[in-house]
Every structure is written in structure tokens, then in C-alpha cells.
Chain A
Amino acid sequence: MLNIQKQSRRVRLCLQILFPLVPLAVIYFWLTTQTQFDILTSAGIVQLDFDIESLTQSPLSNITRLLAILASLLVSGIVLYALSILIRLFRNYENGEIFSAENATCYHRLGYCLFYWVAGSVIYGGLISVILSFNNPPGERVLSLSFVGMDFLTIVFGLLVLIISWVMKEGYKISDENSHTI
């Protein structure tokens, strides 16, 4: 139990540090991409599914960057939501609450987060392709929607997490019964 609490505290701290970094990294990336200050791409921290250069023929304008930030922040919202759930989950573990109703709900929401992520990434792919190619001449603007194998795997993973949430609910019932056994 003590080991779970100790490790959960570490994980929670890491997640709490990561929480503000995600939107900051998104904003920093879109403000600096295609410039000499783009450390995230050159260091390999950010790897995009799409090629910016292939979508846009002209250098990114400020409006394009702003719209790309907004679109990316929308999809990052799903990540932030998942992170907030994970923080709550690991805080509960830290407090010694392993099989609680709240934890089961956390797992349930995490499972749904993965579905939201797949839907969000499909919409994001289309949105970002339009934003990046909007400055192209008419006829060369692109709307690209993609559903790759990784998205399918994410859905499968989401289903697995949902099943785990049901298992956790059963665990909570057993734990509750055990705590009311005198």
C-alpha cells in the first residue's frame, strides 16, 4: 500500500507538471514552427502526422498560426481533460483510496477520453489541413480527413479501459462490502 502511495505521488507530480506544459508547448510550437526558434521539432519532441510544407505553399502567416493554435488547443483540451482525470485518480491512490466509486468513474471517463481523442484527431486533421492550406491559390486548398490504424488501436484501447472501469466498479462493491463486514 505504501509503495502504491509513494509511486502514485511521483506520477501525480509528473502529471501536474505536464498539465500546464501541454498548452504552452502547443502555443510555442505554432508560434515558432518554420523559424529558427523551433526547438520542439528539431529536438524531436513534437512529431506531426502531417507535413506543414506539403500543405502550405507560402510561409505561415500570423493569422494561420493563430488559427492553428486555436485548433490545436481544442484537441489538446481532450489531453488536458484526461490529465485532470489521471491527476485525480493518482491523488486518490496517494490517499489510500484504491477501490472507490470515484476511481471507477475516473477509469470510465478515461475510456471515453480515448474515444474523444480519436474523434478529435480526425476532426483536427481536417481542420488543420484547411487552416494550413487556406492561403494557397484556389484549387490547391486541401481538406484531408484520415483514419489510420493507430486510431483503430486507440478505440480498442478505449474499450479495454472501459472494461477495466467495470472491473473497478465490481472491485469497489467488494471493497465496500468488506469494509461493512464486522
Chain B
Amino acid sequence: MTIQINLDVMMAKRKIRLKTLAQIVGITEQNLSILKNGKAKAVRFSTLDKICEALGCQPGDILAYDVEPED
């Protein structure tokens, strides 16, 4: 996958736990974990909006385009 999810990095920077973020965003821990581990196939704008609001960051801080795809 060429799109990398840096949610764990941002969560570590903000020192916020998965459970807390899931509660703020309003999604299940399981779904947030899917997103964090890069297993998600799509992200809703509404979810992205809430994550950015909760972490005080930009979408680009969470999502990054990897030029060289992983094998």
C-alpha cells in the first residue's frame, strides 16, 4: 500500500490512548485499531475530521503517500 497511516505516531506525540481517541471520535476501538494498523480500505471525511480535531493536527500528519510501495 502506498498510503501510510501515521496515526500511531501522532497518538504517541499527543500522548493519547486508543481507547480515549476512539471515545472522542465516536468509533469503536476495533475500528480505530483497523485504521491505525493500516488495514482500513477507506476513511470517511467525518472520521478524519474528528481525528484531526482530537489530535490537533492536519490530515497530512496522519496520512502520508509513500513513493516506494512496500512489497
Tell yes or no: A181 within 8 A of B by CB. Answer: yes
Tell yes or no: B13 within 8 A of A by CB. Answer: no
Tell yes or no: A177 within 8 A of B by CB. Answer: yes
8 Å CB contacts to B: which residues of A161-182?
177, 180-182
Q: Contact string, A32-54, partner B, CB cutoff 8 A, digits 1/0?
A: 00000000000000000000000
Residues of chain A contacted by B34 (CB below 8 angstroms)? 180, 182
Give the nearest-CB partner of B40 in chain A.
Answer: A182
Assess whether B43 is in contact with A180, with CB atoms less than 8 Å apart.
no
Most buried by A among B32, B41, B43: B41
Could you tell me the distance in whole angstroms from the C-beta of A50 to the nearest C-beta in chain B? Answer: 56
* A contact residues, range: under 10
B side interface size, CB within 8 A: 12
Residues of chain A contacted by B44 (CB below 8 angstroms)? 181-182
Could you tell me the distance in whole angstroms from the C-beta of B63 to the nearest C-beta in chain A? Answer: 12
Could you tell me the distance in whole angstroms from the C-beta of A41 to the nearest C-beta in chain B? Answer: 58
Assess whether A181 is in contact with B39, with CB atoms less than 8 Å apart.
no
Q: Contact string, B1-44, partner A, CB cutoff 8 A, digits 1/0?
A: 00000000000000000000000000100011011000111111
A177 to B34, CA, bound (A): 13
A177 to B47, CA, bound (A): 16
Could you tell me the distance in whole angstroms from the C-beta of B28 to the nearest C-beta in chain A? Answer: 9
Residues of chain B contacted by A177 (CB below 8 angstroms)? 41-42
Residues of chain A contacted by B40 (CB below 8 angstroms)? 180-182
Residues of chain B contacted by A181 (CB below 8 angstroms)? 40-44
Could you tell me the distance in whole angstroms from the C-beta of A103 to the nearest C-beta in chain B? Answer: 20
Give the nearest-CB partner of B27 in chain A.
Answer: A182
Most buried by B among A177, A180, A181, A182: A182
A144 to B35, CA, bound (A): 64
The residues of A with any CB-CB pair to B shorter than 8 Å are 177, 180-182
Q: Can you list 7 A-B contacts (CB < 8 A)? A: A177-B41, A180-B40, A180-B41, A181-B41, A181-B42, A182-B31, A182-B40
